[in-house]
Structure 1
Amino acid sequence: MNSPALFMQASGDGHPLVLLHGWGMNSSIFTPLVAQLPQYQCLQVDLPGFGDSAPLDGGFDAWVDQLAQHLPEQAMVLGWSLGGLLATRLAQRYPTKVAALITVASSPYFLATAEWPGIPAKVLQQFTQQLQQDLPKTIERFLALQAMGSDTARDDIRRIRELVLAKPQPDATALADGLAMLRDIDLREDAATLQLPWLRLWGKLDGLVPHRVITQMPTADNITDAIFAKASHAPFISHPHEVVTEIQRWSTATGLI
């Protein structure tokens, strides 16, 4: 059976909340979080070539355009890691689609430089090489990185693996395209122009997106930052109650619910 162009699972009622996952993952990663957000209409999306969505040629903006075609108007969009990069671009290019933005453990530029905290280029290069040699092992290694550093890392890694492996293995080309996006896409200028309500959630122990990047990010009245002191790269797995509480508090304060 052919995969749909873009798989999306809806649950709950209320204001639409779109959830975009990170590299190597799929929308199942958000299932525990969605269960705690019944006041929203949660839309769990598999990115192109991940989970139950068909691969898509054309790169970053082609992915953004396809997402925009399937999303409702004036949605809240939550993007985790690579999903946050896509969500940021969606908000910049399709302002009628995105009423508010939530980024989780995400940066407008993922590559580390002398001035910018991020993922070292050699790490991304290693993943690129390993993808060509052993795709399943590479995904397993990356799954483990999501929780490294958190107090509950072992349980978190087990939970992440259970959720992600419930769906088909990602397409190899989509994985390579996603790594290229993490290496090449720079939305720092785009992010500085956003005027919509923007909640940024960070794990203080995150080894992939260091929380100190906050000091390099734009600040404005429309932006709210929350740092989870004992969380790593997947705070919604390790600290779901705290993440839900922050989303609900912010949504209420900004008049979104």
Structure 2
Amino acid sequence: MNDCLVLLPGWGVAPAVLQPLVDSVRLRMPELEVRLVALPIDSGSEPEHWLDTLEAQIPHNTWLGGWSLGGMLATALAARRGSSCLGLFTFAANPRFVAHPDWPQAMPEETFSAFYQGCIQDSAATLKRFSLLCAQGCPGGRAISRQLAAYYQQQTADEYLSGLEVLAKLDNRSCLADIKAPQLHVLAAQDALVPAGAAQRIAGLTSKAEVHLMESAGHAALIEQPEVLAGFLTAFLRRTHP
């Protein structure tokens, strides 16, 4: 297999947060090229502008993937690219991050609004809260939140807010059904940001996707259990593109 997998990080963090996963994947599939791409934080607050920037940065005919917001953007880009996307992988990525009456398996709108307002008032405190929420459900707990803090990307308050706005505006429910390429979506059973119930709903949106739920794992499981996630990913790649 001589293909390329491009991975995108989550909100507020640098691509290096994905390096433990990349290292685990490379141990299993040294023939696979894996690239990390940063989120386009200087592209405003409209998802289409972020996707335009990623479209220009990421070669066609690659596998696309990402964690959380990165996974949501990878999903939207995969739908946009059609046959020039080889496949899609996401971890802890909800098709819709903020809850809606017809998609309650997401963060309640009032919780997201409070998080957004907190970022306006004190982005540093909000990032700390974000780290704690990501680590919730991970056996490592606070140690994982401290590790995640080391990956914070230096951004202005406006850039953090723009990322949150993109997170709130993205709705990939129709995208999942449109994507013809193989899909793997892995969620965490103890995730404090993406409810585990989203896994069943994702499976109901498309018959073309594999959906797995990692037990005893939270939103930041890619830091704590990269080898488990790499196992899901590499097995999927070999099944769908031997």
TM-score (norm 1): 0.85
Counterpart in the other structure of 1:124: 112
Provide the secondary structure at the position in 2 that maps to 1:195. coil
| Mapped partners of 1:244, 1:120: distance in 2 | 30
| Mapped partners of 1:95, 1:119: distance in 2 | 29
Pick from 141, 144, 164: which aligns with 1:156? Answer: 144
CA gap of 1:113–1:58, structure 2 versus 1, over 3 A, is: closer
Provide the secondary structure at the position in 1 that maps to 2:139. coil
Higher helix share: 2
Answer whether contact 1:203 1:235 (CA < 8 A) is retained.
yes
Answer whether contact 1:202 1:235 (CA < 8 A) is retained.
no
| Mapped partners of 1:216, 1:34: distance in 2 | 28
Counterpart in the other structure of 2:20: 32
Q: CA deviation at 1:196?
A: 0.9
Matching of residues 1-257 of structure 1 within 5 Å = 14-38=2-26, 39=30, 40-49=32-41, 55-57=42-44, 59-116=46-103, 117-162=105-150, 164-165=151-152, 168-217=153-202, 218-220=205-207, 222-255=208-241, 257=242
Q: Percent identity?
A: 30
Q: Encode CA deviations 1:22-79: one digit per residue, 9 max, x unaligned.
A: 1111201011111222222221111123xxxxx1236211111111111122111112
| Mapped partners of 2:84, 2:70: distance in 1 | 16
Q: Encode CA deviations 1:60-117: one digit per residue, 9 max, x unaligned.
A: 1111111111112211111211111111110111125421000110111111234421
How many residues align structurally?
Answer: 235
Structure 2 unmatched runs, 5+: none
Q: 1:61 is matched by which residue type in structure 2?
A: E
Q: 1:197 is matched by which residue type in structure 2?
A: P
| Mapped partners of 1:252, 1:73: distance in 2 | 20
| Mapped partners of 2:122, 2:90: distance in 1 | 30
| Mapped partners of 1:84, 1:242: distance in 2 | 18
| Mapped partners of 2:128, 2:84: distance in 1 | 34
Structure 1 unmatched runs, 5+: 1-12, 50-54
TM-score (norm 2): 0.90
User: Greater shift after overlay, 15-24 or 113-122?
Assistant: 113-122
User: Greater shift after overlay, 246-255 or 169-178?
Assistant: 169-178
Q: Encode CA deviations 1:168-220: one digit per residue, 9 max, x unaligned.
A: 52232221122112222222122222221000011000111112112222131
| Mapped partners of 2:2, 2:138: distance in 1 | 33
Q: CA deviation at 1:15?
A: 2.0
Provide the secondary structure at the position in 2 that maps to 1:227. strand
User: Greater shift after overlay, 94-103 or 117-126?
Assistant: 94-103
Please report the RMSD computed on the Cα atoms of aligned residues, expressed in angstroms: 1.8
Answer whether contact 2:138 2:220 (CA < 8 A) is retained.
no
Runs of 4+ more than 6 Å apart: none
Q: Encode CA deviations 1:126-147: one digit per residue, 9 max, x unaligned.
A: 1221122112221121122111
| Mapped partners of 1:58, 1:149: distance in 2 | 30
Greater RCO between the two (CA within 8 Å, min separation 6)?
Answer: 2
CA gap of 1:136–1:97, structure 2 versus 1, over 3 A, is: farther
Provide the secondary structure at the position in 1 that maps to 2:185. strand
